[in-house]
């Protein structure tokens, strides 16, 4: 069951293959939320601050949730998480880390910096589908995001 109002999802993923797979799975799950993508940490900040190519609210709407990879070129996901959670304009946007890292230090660091969730990308496609389904069911369907605009 999808919400009447489908709020945007921002996916921060540098791998075209991972992003395509995520899109494909969400399409199969009939996700109606518009999906926006940034490929690196610097682009996320431009998107949220509406700078550069993202100077229009129509091309860069405020996301209801951010799905954040940790290992990004340039400004990495750990730094993006830290900066967004320290910025009063963006700290209430839920950020769910979606990464291959199962390192307990990464998990602990992300929660210390304010991550709202931490999902490990599995190698198995069935497990990936289950994790994406759980994300969609909670963060896009059940969760009520703050209105921070």
Q: State the pLDDT at residue 3.
A: 42
pLDDT (0 to 100) of residue 2: 41
CA 23/CA 41 separation, integer angstroms: 20
8-state DSSP, 90: T
pLDDT in tens, 28-47: 999 999 999 999 999 999 99
In this prediction, residue 58 carries a pLDDT of 85
In whole angstroms, give the CA distance from residue 46 to residue 44.
5
Residues sharing a CB contact under 8 Å with residue 26, sequence separation 6 or more, in sequence order? 35, 132, 136
Query: What are the beta bridge partners of residue 35?
Result: 9
Fill in the DSSP letter of residue 63.
P
Name the nearest CA neighbour of 140 among 25, 56, 43, 44: 25
* Spans in the chain with pLDDT lower than 70: 1-5, 148-149
Structural domain total, the chain: 1
Instruction: Give the pLDDT of residue 5.
Output: 60
Residue 33: the pLDDT is 93
Contact assessment for residue 132 and residue 117, using Cβ atoms and an 8 Å cutoff: no
- From 53, 74, 54, 52, select the one nearest 62 (Cα to Cα): 54
Q: Is residue 4 part of a domain?
A: no
Does some domain include residue 2?
no
| Structural domain boundaries, residue 57 | 9-142
Instruction: State the greatest distance between any 2 C-alpha atoms of the chain, in Å, as a whole number.
Output: 39
The pLDDT tens digits of the residues spanning 89-104 come to: 999 999 999 999 999 9
Instruction: State the pLDDT at residue 1.
Output: 40
The answer to whether residue 147 is domain-embedded is no
Q: What are the beta bridge partners of residue 120?
A: 99
pLDDT at 4 (0 to 100): 45
What's residue 56's pLDDT?
86
Q: What is the CATH number of the domain that holds 90?
A: 3.40.50.2300
């Amino acid at each position: 069951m999808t919400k009447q109002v489908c709020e945007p999802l921002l996916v921060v993923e540098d791998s075209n293959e991972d992003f395509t797979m995520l899109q494909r799975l969400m399409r199969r799950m009939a996700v109606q939320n518009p999906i926006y993508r940034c490929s690196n940490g610097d682009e996320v900040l431009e998107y949220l601050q509406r700078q550069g190519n993202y100077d229009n609210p129509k091309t860069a709407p405020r996301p209801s949730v951010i799905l954040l990879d940790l290992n990004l070129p340039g400004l990495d996901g750990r730094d993006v998480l830290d900066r967004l959670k320290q910025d009063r304009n963006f700290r209430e946007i839920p950020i769910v880390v979606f990464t291959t890292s199962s390192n307990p230090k990464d998990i602990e660091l992300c929660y210390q910096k304010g991550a709202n969730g931490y999902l490990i990308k599995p190698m198995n496609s069935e497990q990936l589908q289950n994790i994406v389904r759980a994300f969609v069911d909670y963060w896009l369907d059940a969760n009520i995001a703050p209105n921070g605009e």
